[in-house]
């Protein structure tokens, strides 16, 4: 294995790797104390070699690596690629393409929801990866021999995992399913995150337009503050505090001081007046410009339909050996229960063929579920009549 610490060595390694149709890639980074991930190490492997790049080496220019990530002639294989892609996108404005995510492929092939890398390696190769350095501080130098070995094993085992999954996908005719998911994963829209959309990440349930307007303004303020200071969002303000402010809409520092979710004295900090100003901006917003709040789907019929759809989803998942999570989410099921034309993944492409059509048939009584010999089975009611 080679440890690369200079731009010239990196350029030479990337040139060699670019001659292969497939390479495996992984990154090691830290983000516990920062908003943007700190890229510490990149490891890559071809069929012939494995390299480790010290991305923190003095004077190193990562341009050759970023160019390789954008090389259309080379398939880049990752496991759980989203964070790796986010890092490359943030540092270079380049999104790796084309890519293959072994976690997504494993879900499509029935290995369960979001299977961990080490578990997937063990199931496919029989090898049990060393987890010792999973939580190591990758920013410390020099890198140890054990860290190097750990980093390299990640991408060398990934070669075998990819080969097995790719062959299985082709055998089952599911390669195109994964390709569809990769297009979403490599879309700039997935990573082009703006502060005004920060509220979408929050699980806080707001019920009134005014609450939503305040939530949007306060979440945007927190996002901008976290970005400018390069600290995690929670260091600026906890999620529950953002939700609390949205609900109570404190328009003065005195009212802000009464919120229990904020640390004592927060109203007297330099951010107190910023938050009050954000609340006031929210209250002043025209309700007509706000996103529409979803109407509660809490009626008993809707809830019962969702429960039946969950049973159908589990049956479909087990029958076709596809992780239920990759077919449909609970939110998908709730939207299908409320609207036949809901714009959800489960009603498009291969998912509609596998599950969506049956879900609509179940909803409208054309399909029923029954228990036969201790198993839940589908009954086509059109044929049963």
Helix (H) or strand (E) holding 40: strand 38-45
Question: How much of the chain, in percent, has pLDDT values that exceed 90?
Answer: 75
Query: CB of 225 within 8 A of CB of 248?
Result: no
The predicted pLDDT at position 89 comes to 94
What pLDDT shows up at residue 192?
77
* Pick from 194, 240, 197: nearest CA to 216: 197
pTM for this model (two decimals) = 0.85
Cα atoms found within 13 Å of the Cα of residue 141, Cβ hemisphere only: 10
pLDDT mean over 85-103: 95
> Which tokens belong to 73?
């002639």
**Parallel, antiparallel, or unpaired: how do β-strands 2-4 and 50-54 relate?**
parallel
Residue 382's pLDDT band, with cuts at 50, 70 and 90, is low
66-75, 92-101, 132-141, 343-352: which has the minimum mean pLDDT?
132-141
pLDDT in tens, 286-315: 988 898 776 554 445 778 999 999 999 999
Q: Is the pLDDT of residue 351 over 50?
A: yes
Return the beta strands (E) in 91-150 as ranges.
99-101
Q: By C-alpha distance, which of 209, 205, 301 is closest to 244?
A: 205
Whether residue 384 is predicted with pLDDT greater than 50 in this model: the reply is: no
Query: According to the model, what pLDDT value does residue 1 have?
Result: 66
| Residue 79: strand, helix, or coil | coil
Span 147-158, pLDDT tens digits: 999 999 999 999
Instruction: Write out pLDDT tens, residues 115-137.
Output: 999 999 999 999 887 777 677 88
pLDDT digits (tens, 9 = 90+) for 38-64: 999 999 999 999 999 999 999 999 999
pLDDT tens-digit map of 229-271: 999 999 999 999 999 999 999 999 999 999 989 988 888 888 9
- Cβ proximity of 243 and 207 under 8 Å: no
Q: What is the pLDDT of residues 158-196, one digit of tens each?
A: 999 999 999 999 999 999 999 999 998 999 888 877 899
Q: Which domains does the chain have, with CATH numbers?
A: 2-191 (3.30.420.10), 195-289 (1.10.150.80), 300-384 (1.10.150)
Q: Are strands 99-101 and 75-78 parallel, antiparallel or unpaired?
A: parallel
What is the pLDDT at residue 204?
76
What count of other Cβ atoms lies within 10 Å of the Cβ of residue 55? 22
Angle value at C-alpha 193, between 187 and 194, nearest 5 degrees: 140
Query: Residues 65, 83, 133, 101: what is their CA dihedral angle, to the nearest 10 degrees?
Result: -80
Nearest alpha-carbon partner for 218 in 193, 239, 235: 239
Q: How far apart, in whole angstroms, are the C-alpha atoms of residue 375 and residue 315?
A: 10
Cα separations in angstroms, 150 against 36, 41, 235:
24, 12, 31
**143 Cβ partners below 8 Å, 6+ apart?**
3, 41, 52, 54
């Amino acid at each position: 294995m080679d440890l690369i610490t200079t731009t010239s060595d990196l350029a030479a390694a990337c040139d060699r790797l670019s001659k292969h149709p497939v390479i495996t890639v992984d990154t090691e980074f830290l983000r516990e104390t920062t908003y943007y991930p700190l890229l510490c190490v990149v490891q890559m492997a071809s069929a012939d070699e494995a390299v480790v790049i010290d991305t923190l080496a003095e004077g190193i220019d990562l341009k050759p690596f970023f160019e390789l990530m954008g090389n259309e002639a080379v398939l880049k294989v990752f496991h759980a690629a989203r964070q790796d892609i986010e890092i490359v996108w943030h540092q270079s404005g380049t999104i790796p393409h084309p890519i293959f995510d072994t976690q997504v492929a494993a879900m499509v092939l029935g290995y369960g929801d979001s299977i961990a890398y080490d578990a997937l390696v063990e199931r496919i190769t029989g090898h049990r990866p060393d987890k010792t350095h999973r939580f190591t501080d990758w920013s410390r130098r020099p890198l140890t021999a054990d860290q190097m070995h750990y980093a390299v094993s990640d991408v060398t085992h990934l070669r075998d995992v990819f080969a097995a999954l790719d062959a299985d996908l082709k055998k089952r005719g599911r390669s195109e399913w994964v390709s569809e998911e990769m297009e979403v994963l490599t879309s700039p829209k997935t990573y082009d995150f703006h502060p005004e959309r920060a509220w979408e990440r929050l699980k806080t349930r707001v019920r009134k337009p005014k609450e939503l307007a305040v939530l949007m303004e306060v979440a945007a303020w927190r996002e901008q503050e976290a970005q400018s200071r390069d600290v995690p969002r929670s260091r600026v303000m906890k999620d529950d505090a953002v939700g609390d402010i949205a609900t109570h809409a404190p328009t003065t520092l005195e009212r802000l001081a009464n919120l229990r979710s904020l640390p004592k004295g927060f109203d007297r900090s330099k951010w107190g007046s910023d938050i009050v100003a954000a609340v006031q901006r929210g209250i002043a917003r025209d309700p007509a410009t706000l996103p529409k709040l979803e109407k509660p789907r809490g009626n008993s019929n809707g809830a019962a339909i969702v429960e039946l759809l969950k049973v159908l989803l589990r049956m479909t998942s087990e029958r076709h050996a596809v992780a239920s999570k990759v077919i449909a989410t609970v939110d998908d099921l709730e939207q299908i229960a409320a609207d036949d034309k809901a714009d959800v993944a489960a009603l498009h492409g291969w998912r509609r063929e596998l599950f969506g059509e049956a879900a609509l048939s179940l909803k409208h009584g054309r399909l029923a579920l029954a228990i036969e010999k201790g198993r839940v089975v589908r009954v086509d009611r059109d044929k049963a009549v």
